[in-house]
A and B are shown apart, each in its own frame.
Chain A
């Protein structure tokens, strides 16, 4: 597995702070994710999850702290910086064009041409390969997005995020709008991403889904770290306690602790 081979995290945040006027949205937050690993980012409303991913995605530049990517210190000032590093974010609204087909959406803004006309054959072929590699099942890549189910749309959005040499994929509430079966479909896709050696950050409120899909859970509470847990050997009650602030994690030894936990979890 790529997971054990890489000792350096794909993404590492060290002491990141972000402030909006009088609100300290993030203070001194540490976070890390390795290749071939799925990390759940969990916290109550207003805990700073969205702010954290927006900092990584380049929408909000950080005020303080360091972002390290593949062992190099980087400065992410805008979304293009993030994209160039290989960071892709799938927001809840998915940003798909309902009136275009699956191929059109996968290649949106990156269309391939045969001189002047669109090269539909090449794009369709590659789309089929990508979806096949990720085991995404869709009736036809020529179906328009409007006729797909919620889970299939989510799968298309995720496939688009990973098909352009991405290294880190951030998923914002990927299962929030989905029914049980569709959620399973998306969670399976997330596990496939891990198999392919990608680093994945999942934001979710649904602890059942989190426990099913992720390796580690990083908890935010009022803009601060509140513990990192390995899903194996942790109960949902412990997580709930950390989310609500009933149980305080070990803030100071955050990084060391998570590394140790990760080491214990590698199979």
Chain B
């Protein structure tokens, strides 16, 4: 069999219309996020059948508020997984940094915004420290962050002190995740529509500008149909989200912040040199090193960003619960974070995935948890079902990877 450049498999791979390309990829088992979207729809339909309040605006708005903290931490987990590393300290770091913020604000009277900033910086410092340890002593990140997970829980208990619970009352901190645009903000519904339309317009403009540049440079560019399709998907998602949330209390501010984090880190990972280097290090460390990429810098920076995102997620969770207690960041949070990243399609082996998998994964995990709460299922069943879904997701990923490898991808 010929494997030259005129190999029909290879030639047809990136040619043809958008639909044809998808079909090609489908046949080569490079399914992308399709299985997970299908899975999400199935989960929603199942829960809707079991309880017709599941897809109500009230519950969907709650769901968005619930997944924002988890999703924000999962964005950090995605960054670390892209390097082919893992961060087991995300849960504890989120709790610790939320506690630092809460104690500074409540006990020491530090203004809310500054307390939040210090909490974020504490996360960044923790991440730099762990990243430094991983690179300096060449110890697997799995062990370093496991040690971190234990140590930071200790630090959390020490910061909280004897009472063990700090209740939050600061206006800024409470508003961070607790604001619903329509209910709490004067003219909030109008603002949300203006921002939503602007968001769609900016996306559309960037697609069109990109297409125009490629066209004038004489490169392949997307067809008009493909362009409209891309813009339509963004528009439908944004408008749908606004219609649903405005039928209830309005868009939760936590979701807005989560979307900002997603867009920002999508830009960083896909459009900057630093992001390209993250993928390079995750794909082939030796190649990255020989291309004179500062591998240790990339690693330390990513661990720092991941822990800062964990801190931000912890602060969002604290803001929503109006308190930080000894259980902050404990229990199944860490596993849900990593499960979200992996279910969303980020490879455990580095170099493959995108920050949007944090959104998809958090939606799946959040929907299951929310749906089971609605059905008032007992905890043992909830844990087992969540574990089963994670198992199914990684199995789909592994099988499609094997098929991809046999297909030579």
List A residues at the B interface (Cβ < 8 Å): 93-100, 104, 108-111, 113, 116-118, 121-122, 124-125, 128, 137-140, 142-144, 146-152, 179, 181-182, 185
Contacts and interface: CB of A to CB of B under 8 A. Distances in A.
B5 A139 contact: yes
Contact of A121 (B2, B14, B219, B280): B219
Contacts of B276: 100, 104, 108, 111, 118
Contacts of B5: 137-139, 152, 185
Nearest to A160: B291
Given A140-B13, A143-B14, A147-B408, A97 B283 contact: yes
B242 to A, nearest CB: 28
Cβ-closest 8 pairs across A and B = A109-B291, A137-B5, A97-B283, A99-B351, A99-B283, A140-B14, A95-B287, A108-B291
B271 A117 contact: yes
B139 interface: no
Could you say which of A111, A137, A181 has the most chain B C-beta atoms within 10 Å of its C-beta? Answer: A111
A111 B409 contact: no
Interface of B: 2-7, 10-11, 13-15, 213-214, 217-220, 267, 271-273, 276, 279-280, 282-284, 286-288, 290-293, 351-352, 404, 408-409
10 contacts: A95-B290, A98-B284, A100-B276, A116-B271, A121-B214, A121-B217, A124-B217, A139-B11, A151-B4, A179-B3
Contact of A125 (B6, B217, B291): B217
A142 B14 contact: yes
Contacts of A185: 4-5
A148 B10 contact: yes
Nearest to A146: B409
Contacts of B352: 99
A193 to B, nearest CB: 18
A129 to B, nearest CB: 11
A96 B14 contact: no
B288 A108 contact: yes
The DSSP consensus for interface residues of chain A is: loop
Nearest to A96: B287
A182 B220 CA distance: 27
Given A99-B351, A99-B352, A100-B280, A147 B409 contact: yes
Contacts of A128: 219
B284 A118 contact: no
Given A118-B272, A147-B408, A108 B13 contact: no
Contacts of A148: 10
Contacts of A147: 10, 13, 408-409
Contacts of B267: 117
Nearest to B289: A95
Contacts of B409: 144, 146-147
B13 A181 contact: no
A147 B29 CA distance: 13
B283 A98 contact: yes
A116 to B, nearest CB: 6
Nearest to B267: A117
Nearest to A147: B409
Contacts of A125: 217-219
Given A95-B291, A147-B409, A117 B272 contact: yes
Nearest to B404: A146
Contacts of A138: 5
A11 B160 CA distance: 68
Nearest to A136: B5
A118 B271 contact: yes
A149 B3 contact: yes
B183 to A, nearest CB: 37
B213 to A, nearest CB: 5
Most buried by B among A95, A118, A147, A148: A147
A114 B153 CA distance: 44
A97 B272 contact: no
A104 B275 CA distance: 12
B331 to A, nearest CB: 34
Given A95-B286, A139-B11, A152-B10, 10 more contacts: A95-B290, A99-B283, A108-B280, A109-B292, A121-B217, A128-B219, A139-B10, A139-B15, A181-B3, A181-B4
Contacts of A137: 5-6
Contacts of A110: 291
B406 to A, nearest CB: 12
A181 B5 CA distance: 10
B203 to A, nearest CB: 15
A140 B293 CA distance: 25
A100 B11 contact: no
Nearest to B214: A121
A109 B2 CA distance: 33
